[in-house]
Amino acid sequence: MVALNRIYTRAGDGGRTQLADGQRRPKHDLRIDAYGTVDETNAAIGLVRLHTGREGDMDAMLGRIQNDLFDLGADLATPPSEVPKREALRILPSQVDRLEREIDAMNEALAPLTSFILPGGTPAAAYLHLARTVCRRAERLVVALAEKPDERVSPDSIKYLNRLSDHLFVASRHANGNGVADVLWVPGQNR
């Protein structure tokens, strides 16, 4: 259980922060940037939920994803170790599988794509596109982190972000009346 009795600690005033395993890192560290961008993705999904209502399948899916993103932040804040001090919270394959099932279920009702889609349509769809682009940035940062020789990242965290960006894209089409209100790109339209 997390207990946050004091919000400010002054521990980060010097530009460093602490990972879950006790390591202190600069706030501009790639690992901090990665899980900070996961947090941004979560905030963008919070904006989507303002436009989905508090009931229904879409809101329930997004609520589960927001909780998963906190799991992912905890995963990234705890670098894998050969000798862990305690069991770390990790993204599991079952969380990735759930995203795939939800993508497949939403995709069944969608109109076929005939062009790339411009972010827009309904407010929920526009914010889903925003969340998708922030998620893609988080994914790029986590992949860059994983490629550093002195860093380790759980493989399912990368899979989760990759699948989540697909999920948010399909959800945006779902929020646009199953693709009816999608705004299509017209190549060269304004030449």
pLDDT, one tens digit per residue, over 59-84 is 999 999 999 999 999 999 998 776 66
Tell me the average pLDDT across 104-111.
94
> What count of other Cβ atoms lies within 10 Å of the Cβ of residue 18?
13
CB burial of 113-133 (b: ≥16 within 10 Å; e: otherwise) equals eeeebeeebbebbbbbbbbbe
Residues present in the chain in total: 191
CATH of domain 27-78+93-184: 1.20.1200.10
Percent residues over pLDDT 90 in the chain: 75
What does the block give as tokens for 155?
A: 């493989």
Tokens found for residue 123: 């407010």
pLDDT digits (tens, 9 = 90+) for 141-180: 999 999 999 999 999 999 999 999 999 999 999 999 999 9
Band of pLDDT at residue 123, cut at 50, 70 and 90 = very high
Task: Please name every residue paired with 118 in a beta bridge, in sequence order, or none if there are none.
Answer: 183
Q: What is the pLDDT of residue 57?
A: 92
Nearest to 137 by CA among 41, 32, 30: 41
Alpha-carbon torsion 37, 170, 53, 98, what sign? Answer: negative
